[in-house]
Chains A and B, each alone.
Chain A
Amino acid sequence: MLAQPIDSQDNGASDTWTPEQQIAHMLDLCEAQMESALSESDLAVESLIKAFTGLADTTRSVSELAEKLPPEIKEVAINGLNQQVDTISKQMAAAIVAFQFYDKLSQRLGHVRYSLTTLAMFVCDRAQTSQKDQWRRLFTTLKRLYRTEEERKIFQMMVEGASAEEARAYVQQTTQTLPPAATGDIELF
Protein backbone atom coordinates (compact mmCIF):
# COMPACT_ATOMS: atom_id res chain seq x y z
CA MET A 1 0.00 0.00 0.00
CA LEU A 2 1.08 3.58 -0.61
CA ALA A 3 0.68 4.75 2.96
CA GLN A 4 3.57 4.97 5.38
CA PRO A 5 3.15 3.56 8.89
CA ILE A 6 2.16 6.10 11.54
CA ASP A 7 5.49 5.82 13.37
CA SER A 8 7.54 6.24 10.18
CA GLN A 9 8.59 9.70 11.41
CA ASP A 10 10.60 7.94 14.10
CA ASN A 11 12.55 5.59 11.87
CA GLY A 12 14.23 8.01 9.56
CA ALA A 13 11.45 8.20 6.98
CA SER A 14 10.04 11.50 8.21
CA ASP A 15 10.76 13.17 4.88
CA THR A 16 8.03 11.00 3.30
CA TRP A 17 5.55 11.59 6.11
CA THR A 18 2.40 13.35 4.96
CA PRO A 19 -1.00 13.78 6.58
CA GLU A 20 -2.56 12.14 3.51
CA GLN A 21 -0.48 9.04 4.03
CA GLN A 22 -1.55 8.86 7.64
CA ILE A 23 -5.19 9.13 6.61
CA ALA A 24 -4.65 6.40 4.02
CA HIS A 25 -2.95 4.23 6.60
CA MET A 26 -5.86 4.65 9.02
CA LEU A 27 -8.33 3.78 6.25
CA ASP A 28 -6.30 0.66 5.47
CA LEU A 29 -6.36 -0.21 9.13
CA CYS A 30 -10.19 0.04 9.18
CA GLU A 31 -10.35 -2.17 6.09
CA ALA A 32 -8.05 -4.76 7.65
CA GLN A 33 -10.09 -4.83 10.86
CA MET A 34 -13.26 -5.34 8.86
CA GLU A 35 -11.71 -8.15 6.82
CA SER A 36 -10.51 -9.87 9.96
CA ALA A 37 -13.95 -9.65 11.62
CA LEU A 38 -15.68 -10.87 8.47
CA SER A 39 -13.36 -13.87 8.03
CA GLU A 40 -13.99 -14.88 11.62
CA SER A 41 -17.76 -14.53 11.22
CA ASP A 42 -17.70 -16.44 7.93
CA LEU A 43 -16.27 -19.47 9.69
CA ALA A 44 -18.85 -19.26 12.45
CA VAL A 45 -21.74 -18.87 10.01
CA GLU A 46 -20.41 -21.74 7.92
CA SER A 47 -20.63 -24.10 10.88
CA LEU A 48 -24.02 -22.70 11.78
CA ILE A 49 -25.24 -23.47 8.27
CA LYS A 50 -23.83 -26.98 8.46
CA ALA A 51 -25.69 -27.50 11.73
CA PHE A 52 -28.83 -26.02 10.20
CA THR A 53 -28.78 -28.22 7.10
CA GLY A 54 -28.05 -31.27 9.26
CA LEU A 55 -31.03 -30.44 11.43
CA ALA A 56 -33.16 -29.81 8.39
CA ASP A 57 -32.22 -33.14 6.81
CA THR A 58 -32.97 -34.95 10.08
CA THR A 59 -36.39 -33.30 10.25
CA ARG A 60 -37.13 -34.51 6.75
CA SER A 61 -36.03 -38.03 7.63
CA VAL A 62 -38.30 -38.02 10.69
CA SER A 63 -41.18 -36.90 8.52
CA GLU A 64 -40.49 -39.65 5.97
CA LEU A 65 -40.17 -42.26 8.73
CA ALA A 66 -43.49 -41.16 10.20
CA GLU A 67 -45.14 -41.89 6.87
CA LYS A 68 -43.81 -45.46 7.02
CA LEU A 69 -45.13 -46.22 10.51
CA PRO A 70 -47.47 -49.23 10.85
CA PRO A 71 -51.07 -48.05 10.32
CA GLU A 72 -52.17 -48.62 13.94
CA ILE A 73 -49.32 -46.44 15.31
CA LYS A 74 -49.53 -43.95 12.47
CA GLU A 75 -53.21 -43.33 13.19
CA VAL A 76 -52.44 -42.30 16.75
CA ALA A 77 -49.19 -40.43 16.18
CA ILE A 78 -49.37 -38.88 12.72
CA ASN A 79 -51.34 -35.72 13.57
CA GLY A 80 -49.04 -34.81 16.44
CA LEU A 81 -45.95 -35.58 14.38
CA ASN A 82 -47.16 -33.57 11.40
CA GLN A 83 -47.90 -30.62 13.65
CA GLN A 84 -44.38 -30.77 15.09
CA VAL A 85 -42.84 -31.06 11.63
CA ASP A 86 -44.93 -28.09 10.42
CA THR A 87 -43.70 -25.99 13.32
CA ILE A 88 -40.09 -26.93 12.63
CA SER A 89 -40.54 -26.21 8.91
CA LYS A 90 -41.85 -22.72 9.66
CA GLN A 91 -38.88 -22.08 11.91
CA MET A 92 -36.54 -23.38 9.20
CA ALA A 93 -38.10 -21.00 6.68
CA ALA A 94 -37.51 -18.08 9.07
CA ALA A 95 -33.91 -19.24 9.54
CA ILE A 96 -33.38 -19.33 5.75
CA VAL A 97 -34.43 -15.68 5.51
CA ALA A 98 -32.24 -14.75 8.48
CA PHE A 99 -29.17 -16.49 6.99
CA GLN A 100 -29.58 -14.44 3.85
CA PHE A 101 -29.25 -11.25 5.86
CA TYR A 102 -25.77 -12.37 6.85
CA ASP A 103 -24.97 -12.87 3.19
CA LYS A 104 -26.27 -9.39 2.47
CA LEU A 105 -24.22 -8.01 5.35
CA SER A 106 -21.03 -9.62 3.99
CA GLN A 107 -21.75 -8.15 0.59
CA ARG A 108 -22.38 -4.66 1.98
CA LEU A 109 -19.28 -4.75 4.15
CA GLY A 110 -17.32 -5.90 1.11
CA HIS A 111 -18.43 -2.72 -0.63
CA VAL A 112 -17.39 -0.63 2.37
CA ARG A 113 -13.99 -2.34 2.40
CA TYR A 114 -13.51 -1.61 -1.27
CA SER A 115 -14.53 2.03 -0.68
CA LEU A 116 -11.98 2.38 2.10
CA THR A 117 -9.17 0.93 -0.01
CA THR A 118 -10.10 3.12 -2.98
CA LEU A 119 -10.25 6.21 -0.78
CA ALA A 120 -6.90 5.33 0.82
CA MET A 121 -5.24 5.27 -2.61
CA PHE A 122 -7.05 8.41 -3.69
CA VAL A 123 -6.02 10.59 -0.75
CA CYS A 124 -2.35 9.79 -1.33
CA ASP A 125 -2.50 11.42 -4.75
CA ARG A 126 -2.47 15.20 -4.28
CA ALA A 127 -2.92 15.79 -7.99
CA GLN A 128 -6.28 14.07 -7.71
CA THR A 129 -7.48 15.32 -4.33
CA SER A 130 -7.05 18.95 -5.34
CA GLN A 131 -9.44 18.58 -8.27
CA LYS A 132 -13.16 18.70 -7.79
CA ASP A 133 -13.72 16.63 -10.94
CA GLN A 134 -11.60 13.81 -9.58
CA TRP A 135 -13.67 13.74 -6.40
CA ARG A 136 -16.80 13.58 -8.51
CA ARG A 137 -15.31 10.69 -10.46
CA LEU A 138 -14.46 8.91 -7.21
CA PHE A 139 -18.05 9.35 -6.01
CA THR A 140 -19.36 7.92 -9.27
CA THR A 141 -17.05 4.92 -8.93
CA LEU A 142 -18.20 4.30 -5.37
CA LYS A 143 -21.84 4.83 -6.27
CA ARG A 144 -21.66 1.92 -8.73
CA LEU A 145 -20.63 -0.33 -5.87
CA TYR A 146 -23.81 0.21 -3.92
CA ARG A 147 -26.45 -2.13 -5.22
CA THR A 148 -28.97 -2.67 -2.48
CA GLU A 149 -31.78 -0.22 -1.90
CA GLU A 150 -30.43 0.63 1.57
CA GLU A 151 -26.90 1.29 0.32
CA ARG A 152 -28.12 3.51 -2.47
CA LYS A 153 -30.38 5.51 -0.18
CA ILE A 154 -27.63 6.16 2.38
CA PHE A 155 -25.18 7.10 -0.36
CA GLN A 156 -27.68 9.47 -1.94
CA MET A 157 -28.50 11.11 1.40
CA MET A 158 -24.84 11.68 2.24
CA VAL A 159 -23.95 12.96 -1.22
CA GLU A 160 -26.84 15.41 -1.02
CA GLY A 161 -25.39 16.78 2.19
CA ALA A 162 -27.03 14.79 4.98
CA SER A 163 -24.87 14.21 8.04
CA ALA A 164 -23.86 10.72 9.16
CA GLU A 165 -26.23 11.21 12.10
CA GLU A 166 -29.16 11.96 9.77
CA ALA A 167 -28.32 8.88 7.68
CA ARG A 168 -28.20 6.76 10.84
CA ALA A 169 -31.57 8.16 11.96
CA TYR A 170 -33.04 7.27 8.56
CA VAL A 171 -31.66 3.73 8.75
CA GLN A 172 -33.05 3.24 12.25
CA GLN A 173 -36.44 4.54 11.22
CA THR A 174 -36.71 2.34 8.12
CA THR A 175 -35.43 -0.73 9.98
CA GLN A 176 -38.03 -0.26 12.69
CA THR A 177 -40.91 0.07 10.24
CA LEU A 178 -39.93 -3.10 8.37
CA PRO A 179 -41.72 -6.29 9.34
CA PRO A 180 -39.35 -8.83 10.93
CA ALA A 181 -37.42 -10.79 8.31
CA ALA A 182 -38.89 -8.76 5.44
CA THR A 183 -38.13 -10.39 2.10
CA GLY A 184 -37.46 -8.90 -1.32
CA ASP A 185 -39.74 -8.15 -4.26
CA ILE A 186 -40.49 -10.56 -7.07
CA GLU A 187 -41.13 -9.39 -10.61
CA LEU A 188 -41.83 -11.57 -13.61
CA PHE A 189 -41.05 -10.04 -17.02
Chain B
Amino acid sequence: MAGAAQVILAVDDSASMRQMVRYTLEGAGYKVIQAADGVEALEFARSGLADLVLTDVNMPRMDGLTLVRELRALQTYKHTPVLVLTTESGQETKQRGKQAGATGWIVKPFNPEQLLNTIARVLQ
Protein backbone atom coordinates (compact mmCIF):
# COMPACT_ATOMS: atom_id res chain seq x y z
CA MET B 1 0.00 0.00 0.00
CA ALA B 2 1.49 3.32 -1.14
CA GLY B 3 1.81 6.62 0.68
CA ALA B 4 -0.09 5.93 3.91
CA ALA B 5 -1.40 9.10 5.60
CA GLN B 6 -0.25 11.39 2.81
CA VAL B 7 -2.87 14.01 2.04
CA ILE B 8 -4.28 14.58 -1.44
CA LEU B 9 -6.47 17.54 -2.27
CA ALA B 10 -8.94 16.41 -4.96
CA VAL B 11 -10.64 19.24 -6.83
CA ASP B 12 -13.54 18.60 -9.21
CA ASP B 13 -16.97 20.17 -9.64
CA SER B 14 -18.48 16.77 -10.39
CA ALA B 15 -19.49 14.98 -7.19
CA SER B 16 -19.35 11.61 -8.95
CA MET B 17 -15.79 12.25 -10.12
CA ARG B 18 -14.77 13.22 -6.60
CA GLN B 19 -16.28 9.98 -5.33
CA MET B 20 -14.33 7.92 -7.87
CA VAL B 21 -11.10 9.71 -7.02
CA ARG B 22 -11.73 9.41 -3.28
CA TYR B 23 -12.46 5.70 -3.52
CA THR B 24 -9.34 5.07 -5.59
CA LEU B 25 -7.00 7.08 -3.39
CA GLU B 26 -8.35 6.03 0.00
CA GLY B 27 -8.02 2.41 -1.07
CA ALA B 28 -4.31 3.04 -1.46
CA GLY B 29 -4.00 4.61 1.98
CA TYR B 30 -4.09 8.30 1.13
CA LYS B 31 -6.16 10.79 3.04
CA VAL B 32 -8.40 12.70 0.63
CA ILE B 33 -9.63 16.28 1.06
CA GLN B 34 -12.32 17.20 -1.45
CA ALA B 35 -13.05 20.59 -3.01
CA ALA B 36 -15.77 21.41 -5.57
CA ASP B 37 -13.84 24.20 -7.34
CA GLY B 38 -10.70 26.31 -7.31
CA VAL B 39 -12.02 28.75 -4.71
CA GLU B 40 -12.80 25.98 -2.23
CA ALA B 41 -9.44 24.33 -2.91
CA LEU B 42 -7.57 27.57 -2.40
CA GLU B 43 -9.41 28.22 0.86
CA PHE B 44 -8.13 24.89 2.12
CA ALA B 45 -4.63 25.47 0.78
CA ARG B 46 -4.27 28.82 2.57
CA SER B 47 -4.58 27.16 5.95
CA GLY B 48 -3.96 23.46 5.33
CA LEU B 49 -1.29 21.35 3.74
CA ALA B 50 -1.60 18.68 1.08
CA ASP B 51 1.15 16.46 -0.27
CA LEU B 52 -0.39 16.53 -3.73
CA VAL B 53 -3.17 18.34 -5.54
CA LEU B 54 -5.29 16.66 -8.20
CA THR B 55 -7.44 19.14 -10.07
CA ASP B 56 -9.94 19.33 -12.91
CA VAL B 57 -9.68 22.23 -15.38
CA ASN B 58 -13.20 23.44 -16.12
CA MET B 59 -14.95 24.38 -12.92
CA PRO B 60 -17.23 27.24 -11.83
CA ARG B 61 -15.86 30.20 -9.84
CA MET B 62 -12.19 29.30 -10.37
CA ASP B 63 -10.82 26.96 -13.03
CA GLY B 64 -8.04 24.48 -12.48
CA LEU B 65 -5.30 26.40 -14.28
CA THR B 66 -5.98 29.56 -12.27
CA LEU B 67 -5.87 27.36 -9.16
CA VAL B 68 -2.44 26.03 -10.17
CA ARG B 69 -1.13 29.59 -10.59
CA GLU B 70 -2.62 30.66 -7.24
CA LEU B 71 -1.14 27.62 -5.51
CA ARG B 72 2.30 28.33 -6.93
CA ALA B 73 2.05 31.82 -5.47
CA LEU B 74 1.69 30.32 -1.98
CA GLN B 75 4.96 29.63 -0.23
CA THR B 76 3.62 26.33 1.10
CA TYR B 77 2.60 25.02 -2.33
CA LYS B 78 5.52 26.21 -4.44
CA HIS B 79 6.90 22.69 -4.84
CA THR B 80 3.81 20.58 -4.16
CA PRO B 81 3.04 18.24 -7.08
CA VAL B 82 -0.12 19.35 -8.89
CA LEU B 83 -1.64 16.91 -11.35
CA VAL B 84 -4.37 18.04 -13.71
CA LEU B 85 -7.12 15.48 -14.28
CA THR B 86 -9.35 16.55 -17.13
CA THR B 87 -11.21 15.53 -20.29
CA GLU B 88 -9.22 18.21 -22.15
CA SER B 89 -6.54 16.66 -24.29
CA GLY B 90 -5.55 19.56 -26.55
CA GLN B 91 -1.83 20.40 -26.69
CA GLU B 92 -2.57 24.11 -26.32
CA THR B 93 -4.37 23.66 -22.99
CA LYS B 94 -1.69 21.23 -21.81
CA GLN B 95 0.92 23.86 -22.57
CA ARG B 96 -1.04 26.42 -20.57
CA GLY B 97 -1.14 23.92 -17.72
CA LYS B 98 2.59 23.41 -17.90
CA GLN B 99 3.21 27.17 -17.94
CA ALA B 100 0.88 27.62 -14.97
CA GLY B 101 3.10 25.24 -13.02
CA ALA B 102 1.30 21.89 -13.21
CA THR B 103 3.40 18.79 -12.63
CA GLY B 104 1.51 16.56 -15.04
CA TRP B 105 -1.60 16.05 -17.13
CA ILE B 106 -3.95 13.09 -16.91
CA VAL B 107 -6.77 12.76 -19.42
CA LYS B 108 -10.07 11.39 -18.11
CA PRO B 109 -11.24 8.72 -17.83
CA PHE B 110 -8.43 7.62 -15.54
CA ASN B 111 -7.44 4.05 -14.89
CA PRO B 112 -7.23 3.64 -11.09
CA GLU B 113 -3.97 1.68 -11.18
CA GLN B 114 -2.31 4.13 -13.57
CA LEU B 115 -3.48 7.08 -11.49
CA LEU B 116 -1.99 5.55 -8.34
CA ASN B 117 1.28 4.76 -10.11
CA THR B 118 1.55 8.32 -11.39
CA ILE B 119 0.81 9.77 -7.95
CA ALA B 120 3.37 7.48 -6.31
CA ARG B 121 5.91 8.55 -8.92
CA VAL B 122 5.47 12.30 -8.44
CA LEU B 123 5.39 11.94 -4.66
CA GLN B 124 8.78 10.23 -4.60
Contact = CB atoms under 8 A, between A and B. Distances in A.
B16 A46 contact: yes
Given A148-B87, A149-B89, A186 B103 contact: no
Given A147-B88, A152-B90, A97 B16 contact: no
B20 interface: yes
Interface stretch (B37-45, B71-79, B113-121): B113-121
A107 B87 CA distance: 9
A130 to B, nearest CB: 32
Contact of A183 (B98, B103, B109, B122): B109
Which among A149, A152, A187 has the highest number of chain B CB atoms within 10 Å?
A187
B24 A147 contact: no
A94 to B, nearest CB: 9
B3 interface: no
B66 interface: no
Interface residues on B, range: 35 or more
A69 interface: no
Interface string B42-61: 00000000000000001000
7 contacts: A100-B20, A103-B108, A148-B87, A148-B88, A184-B87, A186-B107, A188-B121
A96 B112 contact: yes
A183 to B, nearest CB: 4
Contacts of A183: 107, 109-111, 114
A186 B16 contact: no
A107 B90 CA distance: 16
A82 B104 CA distance: 34
B9 interface: no
B14 interface: yes
Contacts of A45: 16
A100 B109 contact: yes
